[in-house]
Chain A
Amino acid sequence: MAQTWSCSHADWTLLKKESSLMPHKFTLQDMDNKIRTAQYAVRGAVPARAGELQAKLKAGEKLPFDRLVFCNIGNPHAVGQKPITFYRQVAAAVTDPSLLTAGIYPEDVKKRATEYLAATNNAGSGAYTDSSGLLLVRQQVAEFLLRRDGFPSEPKDIYLTTGASEGVKRAISALIKDERCGMLIPRPQYPLYSAALTMVGGRIVYYDMFEEKGWKTTYEELNQAANDAFTDGIKLRAMTVINPGNPVGAVLDREDVVMLINFATEQKLVILADEVYQENVYREGKQFHSFKKVLRELQKDDPVAYKDTQLISFHSTSKGIIGECGQRGGYMEYVGFSDQVLTQFTKMAATSLSSNTLGQIFVGLMVNPPKPGDPSHELFEKETSAIFQGLTRRALRMTEALNKVPGISSQPIDGAMYAFPSVQLPKKAIEEAKQKEQEPDGLWCLQLLEKTGIVTVPGSGFGQKEGSFHFRTTILPPDELLEEVITKLTTFQEDFMKTYGGGGY
């Protein structure tokens, strides 16, 4: 169901305004409301407490666990995933070109590094680039998109960004004119969207995804959300879709994508397609269908109906198999925007000058990996298949294991990097949480942390159906560690149920 925010602060601000005129420090009352209310649970209370416990462990304090296991954030390299050798060799060669003649790199590494250096006019990775990013990389992205979808892309519609998040924030800033503008956001969602929207003063309008339907939404639900928004005087401007889903891990079938495009087209909503997990599709029978491809196919069949559909797709070097979160590489593709609007987006990009050059190069490497026959291809294949197989294996294992834990149930993990199981919480636990002014699943996650050292994110941070409780855990820890997580979680949950009484949910 749609849920809208009203942010009337009239009385409050009047009081505050008077006191704010007195000389005093910059305090919460002086802070922009929108910034103040924005939340981002992925780095919220539970991880913060984890930081404190980490410090205690370091100081030698005795805790019920030897180490923390960070299952709260999609940060593969932090939990043991190895970087891809070829990518790091090219990046190192670009960083210190004097090593190119040292005889330590295979030929294809040298070739790629030399190409990227040439693309910077041999200024190297230390110079600002064009605001939209290195042309060579944008060309490589365009070629990748053509291979992936069978439809051409233009480098001029592709912008390289500091991770996908920068692109998302830029799009939202441009789309939201005033407080009456809103966006459809899925619930549960990756909370960047609600945070970004709050920060620019736009209205969040949720559309629910139904757990019992494998986390899919329906046309009826979308329509209801849009109608509710209309009734509340909100002008919807855009719709976010995360596919594969975060936190839910669902992968949309082609007809789902068609339905969403149809709806957005009817309602004249710009589609923000967050596709950063497109390489992470594990479940048998599931396939990634890009919004761009499906849109182009629909446009081919019926050019008139879809003439004005607008779409922005986001991708990143942080996820997939590459997992290079720290490099902050990403891109966005604008589909269906006029050159004048693109000029405005270029101007916005210009105020940050350009994204880091090395991150841009990682985008190029991601979309243009070694090919069969290239000297680095064999090792590349070996490394990437190992990573992919590991993720697939752990996705399956996690789903199976979670469903065996009493009171916990998980939908199949189609893709992405997370499990988002529901937890049935006993009444007593819910009451205790209310007393402590915590979210019930927040209480559960904190206790899990304190007892086992496992760091997760409560479902309340992502949004969920009223009265339901979830938590998000990654599937990233290596197999052995994952087994440990499963064992400890099971024990914890059994104790939790005993403590708070098994009945009367």
Chain B
Amino acid sequence: MWAPVRESMFLGRGALKNFARFKSLTLQTINKQVLEAEYAVRGRLPTRAAAIQQEISQGMSKYPFKELVYCNIGNPQQVGQEPLTFNREVLALLTAPHLLSNSEKLVEQGLLSAEAVARANEYLEKSAKVGAYTDSVGFEFIREEVCDFIFSRDGFRPDAKNVFLTNGASEGARLVMSALAAKHLGTIGFMAPIPQYPLYSALSTLMDSELVGYYLDEDKNWAVSLPALNAAYDDAVKRGIVVRSLVVINPGNPSGNNLTADTLRDVVRFAKEKNLVLIADEVYQENILTKHPFKSMSSIMHELNLDLEIVSLHSLSKGFLGECGVRGGYCIFENFDPEIMQQFVKLKSIELCSNTVGQLSVGLMVRPPVADAATLYEKEKNEVLGSLRQKAEILRETLSALEGISLSEIGGAMYAFPQVKLPQAAIKAAEEQGVAPDEFYCMQALETTGLVVVPGSGFRQVEGTFHFRTTFLPTLEKMQRAMKSFADFHNDFMKRYS
């Protein structure tokens, strides 16, 4: 839409009174892609929850619950998880290096471990000045530590040049996707799982590209299946979409699936066959609840000896660290054209660099303590992971026992994504309100029990099915209470709308 020619443009001074009577940036003039992008994890429901929280804080007690239980976002430290002592000691020392002059006393008092002091000194000697911009791609010595970690995990060592330290894992995905979203090739498609962590759909929309969803198989614990990959790909190609990339989230969010080595081989071969850049979102690799271990897509690629363009993402935010607010992560590029790598470096440099405390935390993540700090570290780690395991079990027990709810095995990550067989009457009531049926259900759960979850429609799902995503991060005691209230709510809801 073009604004009419304005005389004021040619009149110079004194033209102030002649301008049109509306603002420049409004909902009508804002970039359409921004309007269209959706990000349910921070959508209507959490907004309503925030309003309720506000009221409760101000002492209004009109709700049948005293407090909200936040199961809507993978934000462990917000709901009671503690950071690891060693990590925070090192970071505090790096933030205020003048504390090191006191370090002996603090170690004696048991406020610092000798190993934390040693690690801080080691990093400081490598010029870890937290107040300065670093190389765009991040501290070299930290990137080398990432390479060491990959070597011990997978048996091969990537080139440190291809490791970027990022403000959380999303930055790596965003970088690659923005480079791939080449409009001159046509409508670009990014394959991503359904259901999926909605960052990928939001990014696709913002980049004016199409999300090519491949359905995960709910009957098989949300497995990735080759037929589903092929079906999605073929359908997109038929519609003239240029499919450039495949996103695989393993362990899955919200699906909680830990993919088997066989599945991963299918995935890697598929990506190679269709010439897709594989985006391996592996931020939950430390959150494994299955008997079979986590296997990285990169290691599978090496095993199959395939020259596949792959970018692997990891983050501080999940696992047992849960350091969401620190915003740290890395991405590793393998098999990319050297000129493209230069472009990625250029793109990264426009961001200057990611925050230094986050970068240093990545070093702490990939290289845990081994000396006097190790015992406490192991203890804390096992406590967090053990607690997550326990809470996943409570969730599974409660939800599977409810009529009208079916739940797949929780193989990993931090979420359950149960299916609710909503009665027709409920669906109708939701439609009358102009709201998605699962959002309708979740909103009532919120108002009745204080439980904050995310409706499945925010993650996409098979048409006509309804889900919700809940985390199992709040404390054991809160989870038990919340699950009990939720069970009552659910049974009541099903009765009311039967």
Q: A125 contacts B309, CB within 8 Å?
A: no
Using Cβ atoms and an 8 Å threshold, which residues of chain A touch B131?
Answer: 76-77, 83, 323-327
Which single member of A33, A51, A165, A227 contacts B182 (CB below 8 Å)? A33
Distance in angstroms from A161 CB to nearest chain B CB is 11
* B residues whose Cβ falls under 8 Å from a Cβ of A: 2-3, 5-6, 8-10, 12-13, 15-27, 29-32, 34-35, 37-39, 41-42, 73, 75-79, 83, 85, 88-89, 91-93, 95-99, 102, 106, 109, 111, 129-136, 167-168, 170, 178-186, 199, 202-203, 206, 244, 275, 277, 309, 317, 322-327, 335-337, 339-340, 343, 346-347, 349-358
| Distance in angstroms between the alpha carbons of A13 and B185 in the assembled complex | 7
Q: B73 contacts A268, CB within 8 Å?
A: no
- Interface size class, chain A: 35 or more
Q: B34 contacts A174, CB within 8 Å?
A: yes
| Distance in angstroms between the alpha carbons of A470 and B35 in the assembled complex | 42
| Distance in angstroms between the alpha carbons of A344 and B179 in the assembled complex | 24
Could you give, for residues 341-371 of chain A, a 1 whenever the CB lies within 8 Å of some chain B CB and a 0 otherwise?
1001001101111111111000000000000
| Distance in angstroms between the alpha carbons of A166 and B316 in the assembled complex | 21
Residues 203-221 of A contacting B (Cβ, < 8 Å): 219
Which single member of A38, A326, A352 contacts B346 (CB below 8 Å)? A38
| Distance in angstroms between the alpha carbons of A268 and B31 in the assembled complex | 17
Q: B27 contacts A338, CB within 8 Å?
A: yes
With A123-B78, A353-B170 as known contacts, state yes or no: A268 contacts B182, CB within 8 Å: no
Distance in angstroms from A241 CB to nearest chain B CB is 15
Could you give, for residues 292-332 of chain A, a 1 whenever the CB lies within 8 Å of some chain B CB and a 0 otherwise?
00000000000011001010000000100001111110000
Using Cβ atoms and an 8 Å threshold, which residues of chain A touch B97?
Answer: 88
With A99-B111, A104-B102 as known contacts, state yes or no: A359 contacts B343, CB within 8 Å: no
Using Cβ atoms and an 8 Å threshold, which residues of chain A touch B92?
Answer: 92-93, 95-96, 99
> Could you write out 18 A-B pairs with CB less than 8 Å apart?
A26-B336, A27-B337, A31-B343, A76-B131, A88-B96, A98-B111, A99-B92, A126-B77, A126-B324, A128-B324, A129-B325, A131-B42, A238-B24, A266-B9, A266-B16, A308-B23, A324-B131, A328-B354
Q: B325 contacts A348, CB within 8 Å?
A: no
| Distance in angstroms between the alpha carbons of A92 and B185 in the assembled complex | 50
Using Cβ atoms and an 8 Å threshold, which residues of chain A touch B95?
Answer: 88, 91-92, 95, 358
Distance in angstroms from B158 CB to nearest chain A CB is 18
With A77-B132, A121-B78, A356-B327 as known contacts, state yes or no: A235 contacts B2, CB within 8 Å: yes
Using Cβ atoms and an 8 Å threshold, which residues of chain A touch B277?
Answer: 26
Using Cβ atoms and an 8 Å threshold, which residues of chain A touch B180?
Answer: 26, 30-32
Using Cβ atoms and an 8 Å threshold, which residues of chain A touch B39?
Answer: 347, 350-351
Using Cβ atoms and an 8 Å threshold, which residues of chain B touch A269?
Answer: 24
Using Cβ atoms and an 8 Å threshold, which residues of chain A touch B351?
Answer: 165
With A25-B309, A123-B77, A310-B25 as known contacts, state yes or no: A359 contacts B129, CB within 8 Å: no
Which single member of A32, A75, A323 contacts B179 (CB below 8 Å)? A32
Using Cβ atoms and an 8 Å threshold, which residues of chain B touch A424?
Answer: none
Q: A327 contacts B130, CB within 8 Å?
A: yes
| Distance in angstroms between the alpha carbons of A78 and B129 in the assembled complex | 7
Q: In this assembly, does A226 line the interface, its C-beta being within 8 Å of a C-beta of chain B?
A: yes
Q: In this assembly, does A376 line the interface, its C-beta being within 8 Å of a C-beta of chain B?
A: no
Q: A235 contacts B134, CB within 8 Å?
A: no
Residue of B nearest to A101 (CB): B111
| Distance in angstroms between the alpha carbons of A51 and B325 in the assembled complex | 32
Q: B339 contacts A125, CB within 8 Å?
A: no
Q: In this assembly, does A436 line the interface, its C-beta being within 8 Å of a C-beta of chain B?
A: no
Distance in angstroms from A443 CB to nearest chain B CB is 21
Task: Give the interface centre of A25, A73, A121 by most chain B CB atoms within 10 Å.
Answer: A25
Distance in angstroms from A279 CB to nearest chain B CB is 16
Nearest 10 CB-CB pairings of A with B: A326-B356, A92-B96, A77-B131, A96-B92, A357-B325, A43-B349, A78-B132, A356-B327, A127-B78, A350-B42
Residue of A nearest to B348 (CB): A43
Which single member of B17, B21, B203, B354 contacts A351 (CB below 8 Å)? B203
Which single member of B13, B35, B358 contacts A356 (CB below 8 Å)? B358
Q: B170 contacts A95, CB within 8 Å?
A: no
Which stretch of A15-23, A390-398, A459-467 is in the interface? Answer: A15-23
Q: In this assembly, does A67 line the interface, its C-beta being within 8 Å of a C-beta of chain B?
A: no
Using Cβ atoms and an 8 Å threshold, which residues of chain B touch A357?
Answer: 325-326
Residues 55-99 of A contacting B (Cβ, < 8 Å): 73, 75-78, 83, 85, 88-89, 91-93, 95-96, 98-99
Using Cβ atoms and an 8 Å threshold, which residues of chain B touch A125?
Answer: 325-326
Which single member of B2, B24, B89, B358 contacts A308 (CB below 8 Å)? B24
Which single member of B79, B96, B170 contacts A89 (CB below 8 Å)? B96
| Distance in angstroms between the alpha carbons of A323 and B131 in the assembled complex | 7
Residue of A nearest to B351 (CB): A165
Using Cβ atoms and an 8 Å threshold, which residues of chain B touch A32?
Answer: 178-184
Task: Give the interface centre of A9, A33, A268 by most chain B CB atoms within 10 Å.
Answer: A268
Q: In this assembly, does A148 line the interface, its C-beta being within 8 Å of a C-beta of chain B?
A: no
Residue of A nearest to B13 (CB): A219
Task: Give the interface centre of B76, B133, B351 by most chain A CB atoms within 10 Å.
Answer: B133
| Distance in angstroms between the alpha carbons of A219 and B185 in the assembled complex | 42
| Distance in angstroms between the alpha carbons of A326 and B91 in the assembled complex | 14
| Distance in angstroms between the alpha carbons of A237 and B2 in the assembled complex | 12
Which single member of A31, A176, A350 contacts B340 (CB below 8 Å)? A31
Residue of B nearest to A33 (CB): B184
| Distance in angstroms between the alpha carbons of A104 and B353 in the assembled complex | 32
Q: A223 contacts B9, CB within 8 Å?
A: yes
Q: B83 contacts A351, CB within 8 Å?
A: no
